[in-house]
């Protein structure tokens, strides 16, 4: 019955508020407040004191009861004010590998000249995070979200609440945003990288084999040729940087889903993830071929994220209108 009641209340709140878009301000009409267990006990205590004070005509006890009742009313208004007009300016998710925990980052702004204390944020199956917000400040709050298996973890709603001050009341609100967390396959597998995997196909995707490849910029070191200095970047105020190139004969690999015959789909994806993580760590140029996706050989954090995302979404239809994950992808497994 309790679970059914919670679902009914959640559906009613979703119908009343609708889907939220950021930036989002916590206005008065979307805030709810009720006494906590401690608040209910405090109320019963004050009620008992009131009955005793009236029964014995004790003025001092009656004064104390009125003071405690006034304290509860002030605490209720302060608890409500602690959330009122807070603004959530952004919400982004950081991908994770299966079996680990992804991150949900919320940017919360306090435009008031008063501090906000003990603001609690929680997501389904995520650990609650408590934070204080200084006056006229913005803070990023991160929640760890479990990522048990490959695919997409949909975060249907968030709860923002507070019991400040005294813990007698809890004010809260629900944030319904189409957030999704991308979960990459766990990088594991015992198969070695095939020698020159897909070399002919990799060469067919690359033009200008006799030309050197651009690798990036690095800090200037005494003895570097002035012709290799990135003078345009230096003119824009950047420090001295040197352009780096790699010989076009460097090895290129293509990791093909179909080459892992004899393995089930998840095992293939995990092996491909292992090869991609290792190739990125070595600085190799690599491509990926899946039944529905074809990525030409490249390297770098963006290509690394695209390749792992393609593995994560293999056979899965991405939700429409969902907030995309922040592609803060690490090159470590």
Is pLDDT above 50 for 197?
A: no
Q: What DSSP character marks residue 27? A: -
> In the chain, what is the greatest distance between 2 CA atoms, to the nearest angstrom?
102
Rounded Cα gap, residues 134 and 218, in angstroms: 39
- C-alpha span between 128 and 41 (Å, rounded): 25
With cut-offs at 50, 70 and 90, classify the pLDDT of residue 293: confident
Q: Give the residue carrying structure tokens 């608890």.
A: 79
From the centroid of its chain, how far is CA 123?
11
If you write DSSP's letter for every residue of 67-94 in order, what string do you get? HHHHHHHHHHHHHHHTTTT-EEEEEEEE
pLDDT, greater one: 15 or 244:
15
Q: Is the peptide bond before 215 cis (omega within 30 degrees of 0)?
A: no
Percent of the chain whose pLDDT exceeds 90: 47
pLDDT for 292 equals 87
Q: Summarize the confidence of residues 191-209 as an average pLDDT.
A: 54
Predicted pLDDT of residue 282: 84
DSSP tag of 263? S
Per-residue pLDDT tens for 223-246? 667 777 887 777 777 777 877 655
| CB-CB contact of 165 with 155 (8 Å) | no
| pTM as predicted | 0.73
pLDDT in tens, 91-118: 999 999 999 999 999 999 999 999 999 9
40-54, 228-242, 270-284 — which one is most confidently predicted on average?
40-54
Integer CA distances (angstroms), 301 to 25, 66, 134, 283, in order:
34, 64, 35, 11
Higher pLDDT, 125 or 56: 56
- The 3 state secondary structure assigned to 192-250 is CCCCCCCHHHHHHCCCCCCCCEEEEEEECCCCCCHHHECHHHHHCCCCCEEEEEECCCC
């Amino acid at each position: 019955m309790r679970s059914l009641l919670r679902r009914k209340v959640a559906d009613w709140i979703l119908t009343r508020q609708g889907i939220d878009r950021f930036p989002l301000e916590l206005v008065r009409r979307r805030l709810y407040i009720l006494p906590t267990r401690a608040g209910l006990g405090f109320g019963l205590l004050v009620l008992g004191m009131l009955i005793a004070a009236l029964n014995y005509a004790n003025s001092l006890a009656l004064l104390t009861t009125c003071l405690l009742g006034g304290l509860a009313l002030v605490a209720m208004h302060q608890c409500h004010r602690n959330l009122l007009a807070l603004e959530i300016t952004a919400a982004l998710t950081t991908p994770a590998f299966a079996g680990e925990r992804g991150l949900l980052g919320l940017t919360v702004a306090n435009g008031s000249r008063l501090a906000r204390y003990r603001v609690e944020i929680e997501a389904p199956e995520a650990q609650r995070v408590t934070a204080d917000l200084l006056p006229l400040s913005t803070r990023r709050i991160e929640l760890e979200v479990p990522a048990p298996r490959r695919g997409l973890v949909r975060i249907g709603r968030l709860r923002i609440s507070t019991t400040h001050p005294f813990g007698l009341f809890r004010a809260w609100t629900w944030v319904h945003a189409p957030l999704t967390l991308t979960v990459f396959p766990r990088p594991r597998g015992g198969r070695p990288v095939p020698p020159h995997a897909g070399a002919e196909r990799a060469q067919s995707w690359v033009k200008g084999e006799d030309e050197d490849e651009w690798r990036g910029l690095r800090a200037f070191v005494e003895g570097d040729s002035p012709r290799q200095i990135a003078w345009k970047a230096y003119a824009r105020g950047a420090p001295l940087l040197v352009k780096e190139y790699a010989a076009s004969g460097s090895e290129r690999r293509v990791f093909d889903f179909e080459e892992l015959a004899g393995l089930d789909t998840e095992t293939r994806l995990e092996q491909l993830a292992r090869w991609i993580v290792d190739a990125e760590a070595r600085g190799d140029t690599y491509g990926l071929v899946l039944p529905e996706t074809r990525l030409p050989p490249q390297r770098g954090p963006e290509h690394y994220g695209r390749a792992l995302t393609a593995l994560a979404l293999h056979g899965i239809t991405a939700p429409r209108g969902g907030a995309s994950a922040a592609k803060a992808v690490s090159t470590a497994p």
